[in-house]
Chain A
């Protein structure tokens, strides 16, 4: 049983560009959450998707958007990249929002130059 997978593993972009990150949840999970983790910090919640809709959102600007597909996989899109968007982006899946164990993927390391 594959766990949570994310692609790509690393990405380099320049300021102003747009990026799409992808996540496949653990088998049997229908909820996907995205987090941003800056170096030396804990993960910060971006948003959570359930039944193809954004169910909750953290304190992130509209430049951050997402999507969930019928097979529960998800994408995170970031527009107009800033230097400060450089971070490890983590995807986590669960079977019932935050109340059940979240399983994290290995993350996508994004560097904005």
Chain B
């Protein structure tokens, strides 16, 4: 069956460090992969989209990689700040859209 796994439920890092979140998938061939941020009690907010033929995408302090051979995407936040604390969701798109359970990131001052 199709499965999407995000590396851990929670990740704690120190301010200024780089946060790296992982999204692995099995039995799926996504055409696109998206990353979202979700704050408690709010809807997800779109951050980045990467297509299957793209290896890397950047936006300000954010970087996403997509390895269709490893079936994995990595999401990096450089120079992390306490305001980056949130749950980050990966979503795979083909004929439908499937989300991972998310990783809760806490950036400590």
Dominant secondary structure of chain A at its interface with chain B = loop
Q: Which of these binds chain B: A14-22, A63-71, A75-83, A95-103?
A: A95-103
CA distance A102 to B102 in the complex (A): 17
Within 8 A of B (CB), among A41-77: 41-45, 56, 58
Instruction: State the Cβ distance, A93 to closest chain B Cβ, in Å.
Output: 11
Instruction: State the Cβ distance, B106 to closest chain A Cβ, in Å.
Output: 16
| Contact in complex: B99, A42 (CB < 8 Å) | yes
Chain A's interface size range is 20 to 34
- List 4 extra interface pairs beyond A42-B101, A98-B93, A104-B45, CB under 8 A: A42-B4, A44-B99, A102-B34, A104-B44
Between A and B, 19 residue pairs with Cβ closer than 8 Å are: A33-B97, A41-B102, A42-B4, A42-B99, A42-B100, A43-B99, A45-B97, A58-B96, A90-B43, A90-B44, A98-B32, A98-B93, A101-B46, A101-B49, A102-B46, A103-B46, A104-B45, A106-B41, A107-B43
